[in-house]
Amino acid sequence: MAEFTQIRRIDDLGRICIPREIRKNLGINEGDPLKITLINNSIIIRPTPSDASVQAALDRFLLNLKYDFDIDPDLREELRRKTLEMKDLAQNAQEKHKKENV
């Protein structure tokens, strides 16, 4: 991705607006969680994957795995099992998070 710089002002509530071009390039939508980190004298803002996007990525991986005929069948099955385990872990974490935030 090309470098993109723009000056923005902080409003009276401490908010900044992330330019549309950056949000579009990074796939950031309204309500998405962002990780804000202070390193030395720099503020780093990174998108963090939502539970739904993690599940969707695992689903895409499973689908690609199903049609990847160049991979050893035993390895394919092991990857499928491990991915399903990750899906279960992600689902359990999502449910736990919802219960804690009710």
Same domain? For 93 and 55 the reply is yes
**Domain, as residue range, for 94:** 51-100
Same domain? For 44 and 55 the reply is no
Same domain? For 22 and 40 the reply is yes
Same domain? For 42 and 13 the reply is yes
Task: Give me 14's structure tokens.
Answer: 């401490």
Confidence at residue 36, expressed as pLDDT on a 0 to 100 scale: 92
Confidence at residue 81, expressed as pLDDT on a 0 to 100 scale: 95
Instruction: Give the chain's domain count.
Output: 2
Same domain? For 35 and 61 the reply is no
Task: Give me 95's structure tokens.
Answer: 């449910």
Averaged in consecutive runs of 10 residues, what is the pLDDT profile of the chain (102 residues)? 82 94 85 89 84 80 86 92 91 77 62
Confidence at residue 2, expressed as pLDDT on a 0 to 100 scale: 65
Confidence at residue 68, expressed as pLDDT on a 0 to 100 scale: 80
In what helix (H) or strand (E) does residue 46 lie, and over which residues does it extend?
strand 42-47
In what helix (H) or strand (E) does residue 36 lie, and over which residues does it extend?
strand 34-39
Reported for 60-68, long-range contacts at CB under 8 A and 24+ positions apart, including other chains, are: none
Are residues 93 and 51 in contact, defined by beta-carbon separation less than 8 angstroms?
A: yes
